[in-house]
Structure 1
Amino acid sequence: MSAATQAFLEMLAAERGAAANTLAAYRRDLDGAEDALGDLAKVPRAAVARLAGEWATLAPSTVARKASALRQFFGFAVDEGWRGDDPSGALPNPRQRRPLPKVLGHDAVRALLERAELEAATGKSAAVRQLALLEMLYGSGLRATELVGLPLSAVPRDAPLITVTGKGGQARMVPVSERAREALTRWTALRPSDPPSKFLFPSRGGKHLSRVRLFQLLKELAARADLDPAGISPHVLRHAFATHLLEGGADLRVLQTLLGHADISTTQIYTHVDAARLVELVNSRHPLARRGRTD
C-alpha cells in the first residue's frame, strides 16, 4: 500500500471515526485498485477509466462501493496537494436499487424464541447465553458487531437502557426489554470469569464472541426450530425489530434513533417493507377516505 493511501486510511480513522470493519473494506478496495493501476496519487485519468473493464463482471453494488472508496481518496489527494486533478469522473457509476431487507414474520420469531427458551431452561450456560443474544438482537435491534462488543459494564441495573457504540464510534441509548433484562441477568450469573474479560459475551481467549460465531449460533438454532437457516441472521433479526415496531405504529424518527442510522433515508427502507400498514393508514386517515365513509 502506498504512503498516500495509508495516510487516507489514517485520516478516516482519526477525523471521521471510521469503524474497523469500514477501514478494512476501504483497505481492500484501495489495495485492489493499486494492484491494477499503481500509486493512486499519481495514476493518470485514462488509467482510472480502465477500471470499468476490470470491474465488468462484478455486481453493481460491489462496483459502487469500490468507486465510492476511490472518489473519497481522490478528493483527499487533491486537498492534500498530491494531485492537480480529480479523475473521479472516469470511474463507473452503476445504477443500483437498494434491495429490500429480508422480513422475518412474527411466527418465525416466536418459534426461535420458544426454542431458545426451551434450551435455556436446562440451565446450561451456552443455552442461556444464546437466549440473551437472541433477546438483544430482536428486542433492541442491535447490529452484530455492536452486540458482541458490548462491555460487561453495559448491563443495565436500574435504568432500562443500554449505551451502544455504533458505526463511526457514535454512541446511542437503546431500550432493553424486560425479557432481555431477565435473560441478561441469567447470563451474567453464569458468565465465565476465567480468563478475565471486559466483554459481556467473552470468548475462550478473553476477547469477545466473534461475529462469525454469532452467525453460526443463530443458524444452528434456526435448524433446531425447524426454520430455514438461510433466512436467519443477526441482520435479519434487526430488520424484524424495525419492521415489527413500524407495524405497531412507531414513528420513523424514533426508529432512526433506535437503529443508529445517520440518515433518515436509510430508515425509510422499512416503509417499503410495511406496505400493508401504509395502505391501511391512507384508507383510515386520508380526508377523502373519511369523507367517503361519511357520505
Structure 2
Amino acid sequence: MFLDDVLNEYLYHCMAKGFTPKTMKNKRQELKQLKGYLVDKRGITELESVTTYDLKAYVRFKQQAGLQPQSIVTIFKMIKAFFSWCEKEGYLKENIAKKVEIPKVPKKVLKGYTLTEVQSMINAFTYKNYIEARNKAIIAMLADCGLRAMELRGLLTVNMKETSILVNGKGNKERIVFISPALKRILIKYERIKKQHFKDKVTTEHYFLSYKGSELSHVGLDNVIKLAGQRCCIDGKRVSPHTFRHFFAVQCILNGIDIFTLSKLLGHSDISTTQRYLQSLEDFELINKAIPSSPLMNLTRR
C-alpha cells in the first residue's frame, strides 16, 4: 500500500475519533515530515517497505537536526500510534515502531510557586477596569482549579455554575471542578465588570474574553501570566499557566487529597502523570506530610 493512501486513511480515522483540531494539526505535520523523510532520504513509498531500521534512522535524523529529547519523544508517540493502528487494521504484521529506542528525557524538577507568590500575583491586579478584573480572575482560577491553559481559554459562560465548572478537557473529556468561596468572590466582581464593559456589544460565548469580546488567544493568556510575574518580580521560576496547575496539584497533596482524587481533578488519564507533580515537593514539605502518616506515630496514639 502506498504511504500516502494509508496516512490519509489514518488521519480520517483520527478525525472520526474526535481528536481536537490542535492534535490533528500536530499529527498531520509530524506524519508529513516522516513521509517526506522516508521518500526523499530512504526511497520508500510503500508502507510494507518501512522497517525498524528506517525509523531508527529517522530518530537519529531528528537528533542531528538539534531536536531536544522531549520533542523527539512527543513526535515518536504519534509515529508509534500510527504504526499501532496499521497493525490493528491488518496492514502490517506488527508494530515496527515498538523496537525503536527513543532518547531518555532528563527529569527536571519544576520549581513551583509559594502561597505568598500566588497571593501576590492575584493582588497584582485590581478591579479598576475589565482587563484588570479579568486578569485577577484568571490568576485566581488557575491557582484554585488547576485548569490547563486550553481549558481556561475554551471555558464557556454556560458551563459556569454556582459552585462548580464543567470543564471540556484534553481529548474532549468532560469533568467537574469546584469553585471555592474565595474564588467565587473574585468571579462575582469580574462578572459584574464584564457585563458593564460589554453592554450592548456582540461577544463570543467564552467566559474570559479579549478586550474586544473575542476568545482569549494562547498568546493573550500567556501575556497575562507574564505580566503578573513581572509585577511581582517572580524570579528563577517558569512563569506560565502550567506552573499554576502544578501549584494546585502540590497544594492538594499537602492538604491531604489522595493522588487518585487529584488525578481526577486534574483530568489525567494516567496516574503516573499526576505522580510527576510530587517530585517538586520540598524536603520540609515531605517531612511535614510524612509525620502524620507515620505508622509508629499512629501506634503511639492508641
**TM-score band (shorter)?**
0.7 to 0.9
> Distance in 1 between the 2:190 and 2:290 partners?
45
Does structure 1 residue 222 correspond to structure 2 residue 223?
Answer: no
Matched ranges for 1:189-204 at <5 A = 189-191=192-194, 192=198, 194-203=201-210
1:54 matched residue in structure 2: 61
The answer to which of 125-134 and 2-11 deviates more is 2-11
Does structure 1 residue 154 correspond to structure 2 residue 154?
Answer: no
What is the TM-score normalised by the length of structure 2?
0.84
Give the 3-state SS of the residue equivalent to 2:86 in structure 1. helix
Give the 3-state SS of the residue equivalent to 1:231 in structure 2. coil
> Distance in 1 between the 2:251 and 2:186 partners?
21
Q: CA shift at 1:146, angstroms?
A: 0.4
Give the 3-state SS of the residue equivalent to 1:100 in structure 2. coil
- Could you tell me whether the CA contact under 8 Å between 1:103 and 1:239 is conserved in 2? yes
Give the 3-state SS of the residue equivalent to 2:277 in structure 1. helix
Matched ranges for 1:217-256 at <5 A = 217-228=224-235, 231-256=238-263
- What are the superposed Cα offsets for residues 52-77 of structure 1, whole Å, 9 maximum, x if unpaired? 32022322212212222111111212
- What are the superposed Cα offsets for residues 232-274 of structure 1, whole Å, 9 maximum, x if unpaired? 1111011111111211222212211111111111111233222
Q: CA shift at 1:205, angstroms?
A: 6.7
- Could you tell me whether the CA contact under 8 Å between 1:195 and 1:204 is conserved in 2? no
Instruction: Pick one of 180, 183, 198 that aligns with 1:180.
Output: 183
2:26 matched residue in structure 1: 25
How many pairs were matched up? 286
Matched ranges for 1:95-110 at <5 A = 95-110=104-119
Matched ranges for 1:125-140 at <5 A = 125-140=130-145
Amino acid at match of 1:112: M
- Could you tell me whether the CA contact under 8 Å between 1:30 and 1:70 is conserved in 2? yes
> Distance in 2 between the 1:203 and 1:113 partners?
19
What is the TM-score normalised by the length of structure 1?
0.86
> Distance in 2 between the 1:230 and 1:290 partners?
37
Q: CA shift at 1:284, angstroms?
A: 4.2
- Could you tell me whether the CA contact under 8 Å between 1:128 and 1:186 is conserved in 2? yes
Amino acid at match of 1:224: R
> Distance in 1 between the 2:107 and 2:5 partners?
34
Q: CA shift at 1:109, angstroms?
A: 0.9
> Distance in 1 between the 2:236 and 2:106 partners?
26
1:267 matched residue in structure 2: 274
Q: CA shift at 1:131, angstroms?
A: 1.0
- Could you tell me whether the CA contact under 8 Å between 1:151 and 1:198 is conserved in 2? yes
Q: CA shift at 1:222, angstroms?
A: 1.6
Q: Over aligned residue pairs, what C-alpha RMSD do you find? A: 2.5
- Could you tell me whether the CA contact under 8 Å between 1:29 and 1:66 is conserved in 2? yes
Q: CA shift at 1:96, angstroms?
A: 2.6
Gaps of 5+ in 1: none
Gaps of 5+ in 2: 40-44
User: Percent identical across equivalent pairs?
Assistant: 25
Amino acid at match of 1:128: A
Instruction: Pick one of 8, 11, 32 that aligns with 1:9.
Output: 11
Query: Which contiguous aligned blocks of 4+ residues in structure 1 show a shift greater than 6 angstroms?
Result: none
- Could you tell me whether the CA contact under 8 Å between 2:131 and 2:211 is conserved in 1? no
Q: Go from structure 1 to structure 2 and tell me whether the alpha carbon gap of 1:10 and 1:189 turns closer, same or farther (over 3 Å shift).
A: farther
Amino acid at match of 2:169: G
Does structure 1 residue 44 correspond to structure 2 residue 84?
Answer: no
Q: Go from structure 1 to structure 2 and tell me whether the alpha carbon gap of 1:89 and 1:199 turns closer, same or farther (over 3 Å shift).
A: closer
The answer to which of 227-236 and 245-254 deviates more is 227-236
